[in-house]
Structure 1
Amino acid sequence: MSATEVKLEFDPKDMPFRRLGSSGLRVPVFSLGGWLTLGATVVGDPVKDIIKTAFDAGINMFDTAEAYAAGKSELEMGRVIRELGLRRTDLVITTKLFWGLRKGPNDSGLSRKHIVEGTKESLERLGLDYVDVIFAHRPDHTVPMEEIVRAFNFVIEKGWAFYWATSEWSAREIEEAHHIASKLNLIAPIAEQCQHNMFHRERPEKEYHALYKKYGLGTTAWSSLASGLLTGKYNDGIPKGSRFDANSEFFKETVKKLQEPEGQEKLRKVRELTKLAEEELNTTVSALALAWVAKNPNTSTVILGASSPEQVTQNLKALEVIPKLTPEVLEKIEKILGNAPEDAPSYGRPLLDRFGRI
């Protein structure tokens, strides 16, 4: 897009930016994703309204995937970028490969064939020459890791992406990718897109612990509101039009578990967190939950989901909450949650002081 076609200039406003993992790429603390919304439950002009609201608020990173709404999410996002007249260099666009749009034996997974062809098809749907980051949407245990690393390296050398990253990979798989990349002098993944919220902590906070230190890994956290559970909207049932209602088949098991003791205990905690948010921080439990994930030093960006412009605006109130999360407040949250991952055992050895290397 040439400078003469640009209709909207990007103003980061007060949005904080962080490096994406070990790379030099700067991303906003809050970004916007298209899972279950853009191209699915939200189509047409409302998509444009949501993206423009985010862009006007300082969000310039937009995340999608080939599988989101069977390619329609990429189509909608690309259309809106063109119609709004956004400068490509102002944007950080990320997409993900694994689940293809067809049923052929090579139309999904992480073979070199699907990585190369899937990338080209994603770019065609987006109407872009390149994406900033392309994610391996899941690990593929049927493909040699060397083939996966070489294929993403090829995509980057072709200029179709600047970086590659992983999504919902285990620490062992990420470690293997780094070993292969180091051994063959290829490009390693820079980030991991993982689920991270107050009820889902083991993998991002414990399993990846060594990777943050060793490789500078950063996360692009998704489902930081636990698919809406941490908004408090499900405390008294499933409201009409909510995510659990609009995607009832997808969340059937989740809704069922809410009726069980473990689910009821989660709802009890949400009520306590709501009280803390409102009475002590003068905010909503949604803003508190998002700020809590953003506060984590290994979080590069928190991906927001939104079905309306108003949701984007409401969620960005989390920016005001981050500085309020003092050690005292964080301790109160931990007491409510009671689910902090356990530290690795020391086997009776005394702990190092804070200047010691772990």
Structure 2
Amino acid sequence: MATMLQEIKEIGSHAKDIYDYLLAGIDPRLADYPLMQSPIHMTAILLSYLFFVLYLGPRLMANRKPFQLKEAMIVYNFMLVGLSIFIVYEFLMSGWATTYTWRCDIIDTSNSPQALRMVRVAWLFWFSKIIELMDTIFFVLRKKHGQITFLHIFHHSFMPWTWWWGVGYAPGGMGSFHAMVNCCVHIIMYFYYGLSAAGPRFQKFLWWKKYMTAIQLIQFVLVSLHATQYYFLDSCAYQFPIILHLIWIYGTFFFVLFSNFWIQAYVKGKRLPKHDVKECQNGTAVYKNGKCHDNGKHHENSKGIKYGVTNGTNNVCAHHENGSSHTGKMKKA
């Protein structure tokens, strides 16, 4: 027993030494920024987030009606549009549109105004990831459980945790490229979410939903290519190559995940946009391409009209091939 306690004590001592060593590498210019004194606070926030969205939230909402939260979501999404625009502008002015070469750009570790500006926007980008945890909170409160996928949870929890270390060690330089690109994508993404939250009258402006996934894929290609060039440069004095290795892995991994989402949603049609679906009088879904589905079945008569089969219900919906509803005709299955 004494030997075991001694071993545990030694392991704890080594773990503390490693922890102190990791903290010693944090950029001292971030010492006064919120949540940057230790990874413990950030980790506690992310664990609380996971506990709420995966366990506590669904249990609390189990016997409650979903909240609407329309006004809150509109404000939230357009606030993030404005924040993302500001972050992109600050990244550009801090180096990417001024002194950076877009190749081997090292971290400016000085206390010059531009270097401190880059530190500030790098931290602001990380903090925006904490704000974006509200995406999932809204899903839970609105009981949109289908939106809480592995991809969504992993992206919203893994990225803030890793970027805390990224901004702590390397606030700037070529490792910040993917942060700027990510915010460019989020301008478009949260603008879409804001319009979507505004209600049905804005649905006609949301025809480009599936292209958001394409934009995400382009983002990951650009990020991976930018990081890849490091391996082909004759010499590059970038201070933290491990950051670039992780960015390359991150970009490639998420390209695979988002590609799978694209295939499931737009090739196999398992996650069609809401505005691509109309409702029949009996609630059966009618797709704009003329297919009227219920339980995956339909019939077509000689007049080019498709009738949904309802598996035992007495009502079916009729829909013309050109997408117009066949008004007034309800037939028995």
- If the TM-score is normalised by the length of the shorter chain, which range does it land in? under 0.3
**Larger % of helix: which?**
2
Higher relative contact order (CA 8 A, sep 6+): 1
State which structure, 1 or 2, has the greater radius of gyration over its C-alpha atoms: 2
TM-score by length of 2: 0.26
Q: Which has the higher strand share?
A: 1
